[in-house]
C-alpha cells in the first residue's frame, strides 16, 4: 500500500498550489439549536439583535441595508448582508428570512422552524464555505418576508439580478430529514434542480420534489429572472402529506391528519420544541454541499 501512496504524496508536495482556506470546524448540532432558540424574542428588533450577535460570533462581517418597509410603524425593514469570496464575478446568493409572523393578538411568534432554523443553517453554511469558492457568495438575511416578500423585493430593486449566478433560499428548516424543493421556479432554474438531485444522490439523503412548492422569497428572485431554488425540510411522512395536500386538496383523505407543518408555522406552536439539533446540522451539511457543487460547476 505504502508503495502506491508515497508517490502521490510526493507529487502533491511538488505541485503545491496556494492552500485553500482550511475547512472551519462545524458548529455542533447543540450550538445550532441554541442559536435557533435565541431568535424567540418579543419584537422584530430583538430578532435582529440576535441575528447580529450570531454573525459576530461566527466571524462574519455584515452590513445592514435598510428599506422603506410595510410593517406597522416603524415601517422600515432591515436586510442583513454578508459578502464572502472574491470581489468580482457572478454571485451565488444564500437567502433566508429572519422575520416572523405577528398573530392577531399582536404577539410575535417565535418563528423557530419558520424561519430561524433556516437562518442558523445558512449562517453555518456561509461560515463553512467562506474562502473556499471561486464565485462571490452573498448571504442575505431578509426582513419582511411574512409581509409579502418585501425585503427580497427591496434588495432586488437596489441591486438587480444581472450579476446573480444562482439563489439558494431556505425556508422551513430544522424539523425532519427530508429535503423539499419545487419544480416551479422557471426554465432558468432547471440546472439548480439538477444540482439538488445530484447532492441528494451523492449524499444518500431523502429528497422530495413538489410541482408547486409553497412560496417564499425565492419567488421574488425567480420572477425577476434569476435562477433560484427554495429548500425546506420536514419528516418524510409529513413532506409526503404536504405534497399530496398541495397537489390535490380535494383528494386529500379528510380522515387523515392535515400536514403538520400547516398547524405549526404561523402559530404559537412554532417554538424551539419543534426543532431538532440533528436536522439543523443536516440542513447545513446539505446547503454547504449544494453551494460547493454550484460553485464548481457554474461558469
Ligand atoms: Zn417562512
Least reliable range by pLDDT among 135-149, 175-189, 246-260:
246-260
Q: Mean pLDDT across the stretch 26-51?
A: 97
Q: Mean pLDDT across the stretch 259-274?
A: 96
Percentage of the residues of the chain whose pLDDT score is greater than 70: 92
Q: Do the beta carbons of residue 234 and residue 206 sit within 8 Å?
A: no
CA of 17 to the centre of ligand 1 (A): 42
Q: Do the beta carbons of residue 135 and residue 89 sit within 8 Å?
A: yes
CA of 299 to the centre of ligand 1 (A): 31
136 against 3, higher pLDDT: 136
Predicted confidence (pLDDT) per residue in 206-237, tens digit: 999 999 999 999 999 999 999 999 999 999 99
Predicted confidence (pLDDT) per residue in 81-132, tens digit: 999 999 999 999 999 999 999 999 999 999 999 999 999 999 999 999 999 9
CA of 224 to the centre of ligand 1 (A): 20
CA of 261 to the centre of ligand 1 (A): 11
SS3 227: coil
The chain-wide mean pLDDT, for the chain, equals: 92
Rg (CA), the chain: 20
Give me the pLDDT at residue 264, please: 95
How far is the C-alpha of 137 from the C-alpha of 85, rounded, in Å?
A: 6
CA of 118 to the centre of ligand 1 (A): 9
Q: Mean pLDDT across the stretch 33-38?
A: 98
Q: Which band of pLDDT confidence, cut at 50, 70 and 90, is reported for residue 22?
A: low
SS3 208: strand
How far is the C-alpha of 176 from the C-alpha of 261, rounded, in Å?
A: 11
pLDDT at 3 over 70: no
CA of 103 to the centre of ligand 1 (A): 14
Give me the pLDDT at residue 4, please: 39
CA of 269 to the centre of ligand 1 (A): 14
| Length of the chain counted residue by residue | 299
Give me the pLDDT at residue 20, please: 56
CA of 198 to the centre of ligand 1 (A): 25
Residue 244 burial (CB count, 10 A): 15
Residue 113 DSSP one-character state: I
CA of 289 to the centre of ligand 1 (A): 22
Give me the pLDDT at residue 15, please: 43
CA of 172 to the centre of ligand 1 (A): 6
Percentage of the residues of the chain whose pLDDT score is greater than 90: 86
CA of 262 to the centre of ligand 1 (A): 12
Q: Mean pLDDT across the stretch 36-44?
A: 97
- With cell 411522512, the residue in question is 237
pLDDT at 195 over 90: yes
Q: Among the residues of the chain, which ranges form H helices?
A: 2-14, 29-37, 44-58, 117-129, 150-159, 190-203, 218-223, 236-247, 277-297
CA of 125 to the centre of ligand 1 (A): 18
The CATH classification of domain 26-294, taken from the options 3.40.718.10, 3.40.50.2000, 3.90.226.10, 3.40.630.10: 3.40.630.10
CA of 230 to the centre of ligand 1 (A): 11
Q: Which band of pLDDT confidence, cut at 50, 70 and 90, is reported for residue 2?
A: very low
Q: Mean pLDDT across the stretch 64-69?
A: 96
CA of 104 to the centre of ligand 1 (A): 18
Give me the pLDDT at residue 139, please: 98
Give me the pLDDT at residue 250, please: 87
CA of 130 to the centre of ligand 1 (A): 25
Report CA 138 to chain centroid distance, whole Å.
Answer: 12
How far is the C-alpha of 285 from the C-alpha of 246, rounded, in Å?
A: 28
CA of 7 to the centre of ligand 1 (A): 52
Which sign, positive or negative, has the C-alpha torsion 271, 51, 170, 248? positive
pLDDT at 136 over 90: yes
Q: Mean pLDDT across the stretch 74-80?
A: 95
Query: Which residues is 266 bridged to in the sheet?
Result: none
Please name which of 232, 260, 270, 262 lies closest in space to residue 110, comparing C-alpha atoms.
270
Please name which of 284, 35, 30 lies closest in space to residue 173, comparing C-alpha atoms.
284
CA of 182 to the centre of ligand 1 (A): 15
How many separate helices (H) and strands (E) can be counted in the chain? 9, 8
CA of 217 to the centre of ligand 1 (A): 8
CA of 109 to the centre of ligand 1 (A): 12
CA of 61 to the centre of ligand 1 (A): 24
pLDDT at 7 over 70: no
Residue 19 burial (CB count, 10 A): 6
Residue 276 burial (CB count, 10 A): 18
Q: Which band of pLDDT confidence, cut at 50, 70 and 90, is reported for residue 73?
A: confident
Amino acid at each position: 500500500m505504502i508503495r502506491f501512496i508515497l508517490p502521490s504524496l510526493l507529487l502533491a508536495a511538488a505541485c503545491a498550489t496556494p492552500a485553500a482556506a482550511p475547512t472551519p470546524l462545524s458548529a455542533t448540532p447543540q450550538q445550532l439549536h441554541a442559536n435557533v432558540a435565541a431568535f424567540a424574542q418579543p419584537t422584530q428588533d430583538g430578532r435582529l439583535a440576535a441575528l447580529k450577535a450570531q454573525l459576530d460570533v461566527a466571524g462574519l462581517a455584515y452590513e445592514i441595508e435598510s428599506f422603506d418597509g410595510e410593517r406597522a410603524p416603524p415601517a422600515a425593514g432591515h436586510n442583513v448582508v454578508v459578502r464572502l469570496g472574491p470581489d468580482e464575478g457572478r454571485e451565488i446568493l444564500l437567502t433566508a428570512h429572519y422575520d416572523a409572523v405577528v398573530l392577531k393578538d399582536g404577539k410575535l411568534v417565535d418563528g423557530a422552524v419558520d424561519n430561524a432554523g433556516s437562518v442558523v443553517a445558512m449562517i453555518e453554511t456561509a461560515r463553512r464555505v467562506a474562502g473556499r469558492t471561486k464565485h462571490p457568495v452573498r448571504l442575505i438575511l431578509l426582513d419582511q418576508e411574512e409581509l409579502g416578500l418585501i425585503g427580497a423585493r427591496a434588495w432586488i430593486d437596489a441591486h438587480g439580478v444581472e450579476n446573480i449566478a444562482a439563489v439558494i433560499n431556505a425556508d422551513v428548516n430544522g424539523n425532519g430529514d427530508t429535503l423539499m424543493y419545487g419544480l416551479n421556479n422557471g426554465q432558468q432554474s432547471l440546472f439548480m434542480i439538477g444540482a439538488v438531485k445530484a447532492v441528494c444522490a451523492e449524499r444518500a439523503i431523502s429528497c422530495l420534489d413538489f410541482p408547486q412548492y409553497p412560496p417564499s422569497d425565492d419567488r421574488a428572485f425567480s420572477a425577476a429572472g434569476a435562477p433560484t431554488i427554495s429548500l425546506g425540510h420536514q419528516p418524510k411522512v409529513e413532506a409526503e402529506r404536504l405534497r399530496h395536500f398541495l397537489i390535490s386538496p380535494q383528494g386529500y383523505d379528510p380522515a387523515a391528519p392535515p400536514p403538520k407543518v400547516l398547524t405549526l408555522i404561523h402559530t404559537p406552536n412554532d417554538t424551539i420544541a419543534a426543532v431538532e439539533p440533528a436536522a439543523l446540522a443536516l440542513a447545513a451539511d446539505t446547503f454547504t454541499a449544494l453551494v460547493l457543487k454550484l460553485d464548481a460547476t457554474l461558469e
